[in-house]
Amino acid sequence: MSQDLATDRTADPAQPLTTSWQARARVALRAAAPALCWYAAVRLSGVLILVVAASMAGKDALHLLGSRWDSVWYQQIAESWYGYEVRLPDGSLHADLAFFPLLPALERGLSEILPISLGTAGLAVSWTASLVAAWGIYAVGAHLHDRRTGVILSVLWGVYPTAFVQSMAYTETLFTAAAAWLLYSVLTDRWITAGVLATAAGLTRPSAAALIASLGITAVMILVRDLRGRTALSEVVRNRRRMIGGIAVAPLGWLGYVVFVGIRRRDPLGYFTVQGEWGNHIDGGAALARFIWKNLTGPVPLAGAALVAALVLLGWVVWLCVRQQQPAPVLAYTIALVALSLIGAGYFGSRPRLMMPAFPLLLPAAVALAGRPTVRARWVLGTLALASGAYGAITLLGSGPP
């Protein structure tokens, strides 16, 4: 990598120098304000498109966003904690233990503090987390390039094809907020903060494994680099004690929940059994290959061809990220999350949503747009916002979120 694994924070445009953390926070928020305002604008446009479409269809847009599909499972956990199961007609068992606890815990806490329903609390958490995520994405983009790139990167995340999920009572925004600020923390050498954020992410989604792997890979690279510099092992450990502490803390959330499910199920591998009952398990991509082949040889082979084209496009974007020489923690996180999204069995329509937190995939496009005239960039982003909003409305009024 041509860029350092952790760079000097004093040169960071997303972290201006001031005398107190309160002042730094105010200055940083002021710097991020354009990103937050533009992100909020594109997401609001998507919600407004849904409201109009839902009204024409005689449906409640807020109900679609806050109290349908997986949101219902989170609300059930928030209301009664774990223990709810559903036996489907085919005999398979779906248990609420498949869902991680941070979102329902926040829903429960917020609904007890304020006179609001669990569904409204879920939306409040998700919408707040989406702004925190947009701020973190801006911070990463500004740190690696410049503020204009950071703004465009956060807006591109807001117009992602399945960005409507960012406005739902789902965990995507909460997880992305933790991931973005974790990567920023590592880039600015704040390893304890990164470890705490990894713990929070590990209580949010199973894909926190990608973040933990990213931290581990980065730490190993740094230790190897230090040792190659002929620094004594004891001195390396002493100099990198905060990094080692952050790495030690990072997996506690994810491991803690896996252990919790194991105890509840009286099976050390209970969590993976629960996921298997939902049809989710790691098979190295065999199920995805069968799914693509089935579409290629089915009555609508064009669908299979579109899937192949999408995978080729995804591979090309990952290659652009490599050629862009993104820092090790950023690139490792992106590749790990993409891999986790592709090598598991389950509902294949959810793959774009599962990869949505991999926002560094959008960095090559953000850099390219940042080099274009402002008017052209705004036209591109505006068109994408309308397309994303229309797709979200069609999906939510149809089969539901992929």
Percent above pLDDT 70 for the chain: 94
Task: Look up the pTM and report it.
Answer: 0.91
Compute how many other C-beta atoms are within 10 angstroms of the C-beta atom of residue 306. Answer: 13
Segment 56-81, tens digit of pLDDT: 999 999 989 998 889 999 999 999 99
**Low-confidence stretches of the chain (pLDDT beneath 50):** 1-11, 17-18
Taking 3-state DSSP, the helix, strand and coil percentages for the chain, each rounded to the nearest 5, stand at 75, 0, 25
Please report, for residues 51, 191, 354, the alpha-carbon distance to residue 384 in angstroms, rounded to integers and kept in the order given.
18, 36, 20
pLDDT at 5: 45
C-alpha span between 189 and 186 (Å, rounded): 5
Q: What is the pLDDT of residues 141-191, one digit of tens each?
A: 999 999 999 999 999 999 999 999 999 999 999 999 999 999 999 999 999
Q: What Cα–Cα distance (Å) separates residue 57 from each residue in 53, 61, 64, 216?
A: 6, 10, 12, 49
Q: Report pLDDT for 284.
A: 80
Q: Which two structure tokens, joined as six digits, stand for 387?
A: 């397309």
What pLDDT is recorded for position 9?
Answer: 39
- Residue pair 53/85 in contact (Cβ under 8 Å)? The answer is no
Domain chopping of the chain, boundaries:
9-396
- What integer pLDDT is reported at residue 15 of this predicted model? 54
